[in-house]
Amino acid sequence: MKTRIEPYKIKVVEPIPVTTRAVRERALEQASWNLFRLPADLVTIDLLTDSGVTAMSARQWSGLLSGDEAYAGSHSFLRFEEAVRTLTGYAHVIPTHQGRAAERLLFETIVHCGDLVPGNTHFDTTRANIEHVGATAIDLPIAAARVPSLDLPFKGDLDLGRLEALLEATPRARVPLVVVTVTSNGCGGQPVSIENLRAVRGLCDRFGVGLYLDAARFAENAWMIRQREAAWSGRTPREIARAMFDLADGCLMSAKKDGLVNIGGFLALRDGALAEELKRMMVLGEGFPTYGGLAGRDLEAMACGLEEVLDPAYLADRIAQVADLGDRLHAAGVPTVRPPGGHAIYLDSRAFAPHLGPLDLPGQSLACALYLHAGVRSVEIGQLMRGRNASPTEEPVDLDLVRLAIPRRVYTCCQLDYVAEAVTDVYAAREALLPLEIVEQPPALRHFGARLRPRRAPAPREPTRTNGASVGQA
């Protein structure tokens, strides 16, 4: 059979809001053209993130009821600890309420002011936590990662030459660890190969530096290794994931992604002395080491999610669902980051709207147009998110993207067809995308709180496409 079917059936449903264009126009105006300010009940298809928005399985929901809420030594913790040990091979497992709490705990303990922390491309919160202790986060992606249209299998790989040069030029004591993010969210959800990880391990050994994985999307990475790295084609996702973990000294995990849960995270590592120190520190902010800021039921759901996520049927469907959306957009001529990522499709905003300059915020303009046209919420990862001073002299960022992140087990193929149609409609009428400007911005993480507006009156042209919806921004 050629038709791909989701490897699960739906047991509980939640209605999705269907709105009119007039309602969306008003909502966007009230949200100051910032999609983070929109009430979620005015969003039809929500592709803002794939984090914490997973649909849990019947097994996970039933696990919630058997969660043991004991303060210390709960059996849910023991089950969770066992699941993480079996997956990673790391002896020490420290639960945290989400990924960034694990980052903060590790970096506050082993990273110091003036240190350098290299990685393929650090996620925002990883970078923020490194900078919080006065250190510098250094991105060393391979050059191809910066060329959206280039179709290569492992654009998440770390640039080995640049890592070697950095380690040679920096005193050992100034580089406490290297972090490799699998898959690389900052580079379009692209995977990292075992070959690259092994070479990074080699460099870390040569210079005596620790290697940690940011493992938020480890299972998606493992599946793409199976598809793209010949030596691993016949192996199970669990074996490949284990090979990834075997090459590192520990991992940071946001279980809100490949843990298939709505909240949770952990740190797991081999070093017992460091684990003891981390446990002492975690009591200050996260809680006792056997619950780490979570309820026993959350640990139960995570233990179960970490097993389910390695089901080949689940992963085959997950990666194909995202790839189908990407391939359909690509076939329609829409400029995207190639190849499709594991958890999201990234639109290349500058190629999408070449009539807009980088400081016209083309990504945000495109994201707003998608919302206005079809009620689809995406997220800008470009000038608005990564630029700094909101003035005509602001430096253009290197890449301007819009991410369509696909929640796990939430939307059907048909709903993603609707998204593809919405994007192609907006692309067909792309000259109607208006320049935006920032009216007000908070000092940090400006994309969350900024207020924006179109720079000039709405374009008169409004080509009608589907459902009476139309493209253009007002």
Residues marked as catalytic: 71, 123-124, 214, 216, 257, 447
What are the b/e assignments for 2-11, b being 16+ CB within 10 Å?
A: eeeeeeeeee
Using CA atoms, how far apart are residues 436 and 450, in angstroms rounded to an integer? 12
* Cis, peptide link before residue 121, omega less than 30° from 0: no
Q: Which residue number, 19 or 254, has a Cβ lying nearer to ligand F0G?
A: 254
> Least separation, in Å, of the C-beta of 428 and ligand F0G?
28
The least distance separating ligand F0G from the CB of residue 66, rounded to whole angstroms, comes to 24
User: Residue 310 corresponds to which tokens in the numbers above?
Assistant: 């390695």
Greatest Cα-to-Cα distance within the chain, rounded to the nearest angstrom: 66
Q: Considering beta carbons, is residue 218 or 232 the nearer one to ligand F0G? A: 218
Of 318, 8, 4, 329, whose CA–CA distance to 189 is shortest? 318
Q: How far is the CB of 445 from ligand F0G (least distance, A)?
A: 12
The nearer residue to ligand F0G, 256 or 430, going by C-beta atoms, is: 256
Report the alpha-carbon distance of residue 39 to residue 49 in Å, rounded: 15
What is the rounded CA–CA span in Å between residue 189 and residue 199? Answer: 21
Residue 160 phi/psi, 5-degree rounding, is -65, -35
**From residue 77, how far is each of 88, 134, 282 by CA, in Å?**
16, 34, 16
In the complex, least distance from residue 102 CB atom to ligand F0G, rounded to whole angstroms: 8
Q: Measured from the CB atom, is 100 or 350 closer to ligand F0G?
A: 100
- Give the residue closest to ligand F0G by C-beta: 99
* Contacting positions for ligand F0G (CB under 6 A): 49, 51, 98-100, 123, 125-126, 181, 185, 214, 216, 254, 256, 265
Identify the CA nearest to 341 among candidates 209, 157, 191: 191
d(CA 82, CA 91) in angstroms, rounded, equals: 9
How far is the C-alpha of 22 from the C-alpha of 331, rounded, in Å?
31
- Name the minimum Å distance from CB 403 to ligand F0G: 8
Identity of the residue, 57 or 185, whose beta carbon is nearer to ligand F0G in the bound complex: 185
CB of 461 to ligand F0G, least distance (A): 33
Straight-line distance from the first to the last Cα atom of the chain, in angstroms, rounded to the nearest whole number: 44
How far is Cα 447 from Cα 364, in angstroms, rounded to an integer?
Answer: 10
Closest CB to ligand F0G among residues 196, 254: 254
